[in-house]
Amino acid sequence: MSNGFSPGSKPAAGPDPTQVQPPSLWRELGLERAPAPSYSQLLQQLRHGQGPQRIKDLELSMAQRQVTVRYADGRRVQVPVFNNDQLLLRTAQEARIPLSVRDDRQDEAMAGLVANGLLLLLLLGGLALLIRRSAQVANRAIGFGRSQARVVEAEAAVPVRFEDVAGINEAKEELQEVVTFLKEPERFTAVGARIPKGVLLVGPPGTGKTLLAKAIAGEAGVPFFSMAASEFVELFVGVGASRVRDLFRRAKEKAPCIVFIDEIDAVGRQRGAGIGGGNDEREQTLNQLLTEMDGFADNSGVILLAATNRADVLDAALMRPGRFDRRIHVDLPDRRGREAILAVHARSRPLAAEICLADWASRTPGFSGADLSNLLNEAAILTARREQSCIDEQAMHDALERITMGLTAAPLQDSAKKRLIAYHEIGHALLTTLLPAADRLDKVTLLPRAGGVGGFARTMPDEDVLDSGLISKAYLQARMVVAMGGRAAELLVFGPSEITQGASGDLELVSRIGREMVTRYGFSSLGPLALESDGAEVFLGRDWLRAEPHYSRETGNRIDAQVQQLARQALDQALSMLRPRRALMDELVDLLIERETIDGDLFVAVVQRTVCGDEAPALALSRTIS
């Protein structure tokens, strides 16, 4: 059996509205659609209504001006009537039909009153909200000139101490005297000494200037106000100066105290610099700061501590004694300093027993405190990703390469491109090993890095050169020869027509070093002349507007010729050193392709055994690998 419709069966018939049905059935089925009578028909039905047309009763609505008619069969219809219709009343009375009157005007009046009350409440609520917002804006406008400094009270516990700051011992000693000034001022006032009004911390980014300020706040035990210089300057004129006044007023109330302004070069730049005379609002702020530091008003007990890495752009009036009495240089840490910084950051990280912090301090020359902190943090992230319990040497190696060279890309497949890159990097690494004045080779690898680096030969700068800051002519020439090693290897192996653009970065380095040797250091036939400087116009756009050189066009042509000569000499020397060692290059390239990475010590050992002539290259390689 099927419940659906089939052609041979007749569906169950429902009520058909077209068929005549009894009135009771119409009402039960909800199909009643009786039309309402007109006014005249209503009066006629009142007088002569019989059967279904007989009216049972009436209900008159005064507010809606209509009458509800109920017939004897139960039907109900509504008929509009006139206001105060006397005819309808007399007709219903004569026909003896009950008529009731419903006065709903009071209900409508009450509903209107409620609606008006709700509208009034809505208006009052909106008005109250506007008044409240206006009051908030007014309060902000009144407090716009107040300083936004964060205050650390003397009783508050600042977790940073001098023992948490490592690698900058000289700066710590200078600032420890400032702390002693605040704790025991009578020791210095007894001999006529006065507390310094300002201390300026100058150094490269990431060397720990802000960390030193936090250490002072933790050691001094006095109120500490900290604020960024950019928070003084706003769009409205006079706000910065007002905030400076408010800051020093609050500081004097809590004297002795320390006020720390970070990145003070944002507000302390030279006045009147730049196109159009500079920013008037910034200059007003600077003038107010100069007055507060050393003006007619006494400012005893308030020490201004500021930090910047652009001391060359600060206004001369700000730098004079009486305002910033001390200027402390926070330089990059040396090897011992880096070891101490690594030890501080290693307190909260589990290190494997095989890790020697002294070795890693030697492998990170030129790193700041922030760089070293980032190194250990990246190593900890890699350790957690590998689901290990402590940081090992491999994690440190990978973190260092990730910071210095970038993320590791997919390894190259064995192809002509991989062999070309191998010869290029072996050229750099081999010259680094052969030249006595060059840097020490750390590793050479074919593992590519994100950003288009197919491989690299990493060197470690000489620590003595970095610490002393004295660079010899032999060292610069060795760097140029090493940089030309990749191009020289391509020329020897593949010929002049097959060299690639892979040496573009090396050529830029050679050009820069050669120009500095000629124009700044006097390492050329032009003589001991400083024809250019490393200064730049920081206000007019050092990358857009360049000052005219102080030498003639003829001298400029001679400079270009000297730079070209130094570059050619470096390439010729690289070719002359690599040409007789072609067999060694082939062996090293095969080893590099096989292992993809060669450690610097292993590479140097292979080269030394081969260059000394004690063993054949292949035998030296096999013994060293084993």
Find, among 208, 371, 197, 169, the residue nearest to 293 by Cα: 197
3 state SS of 443:
strand
Name the residues annotated as catalytic: 425
User: Residues 6 or more apart from 38 whose CB is under 8 A from it?
Assistant: 79
CA–centroid distance for 307 within its chain: 21
**Residue 148 DSSP code:** -
CA distance 417 to 39: 104
**At 440, phi and psi to the nearest 5?**
-80, 135
Cα-Cα-Cα-Cα torsion 465, 467, 470, 476, nearest 10 degrees, comes to: 30
**At 55, phi and psi to the nearest 5?**
-90, 130
CA–centroid distance for 377 within its chain: 18
Token readout for 295 is: 């003006």
Q: Which amino acid is at 16?
A: D
CA distance 408 to 398: 9
3 state SS of 102:
strand
Token readout for 524 is: 């050329």
Ramachandran category for residue 74: left, alpha or beta (phi over 0 → left; psi -120 to 50 → alpha): left
Q: Is the dihedral of CA 556, 557, 562, 563 positive or negative?
A: positive
**At 524, phi and psi to the nearest 5?**
-155, 180
Q: Which DSSP string corresponds to 132-168?
A: HHHHHHHHHHHGGGS---EEE-TTS-----GGG--S-
CA distance 125 to 145: 32
Q: Which amino acid is at 251?
A: A
Helix (H) or strand (E) holding 572: helix 553-578
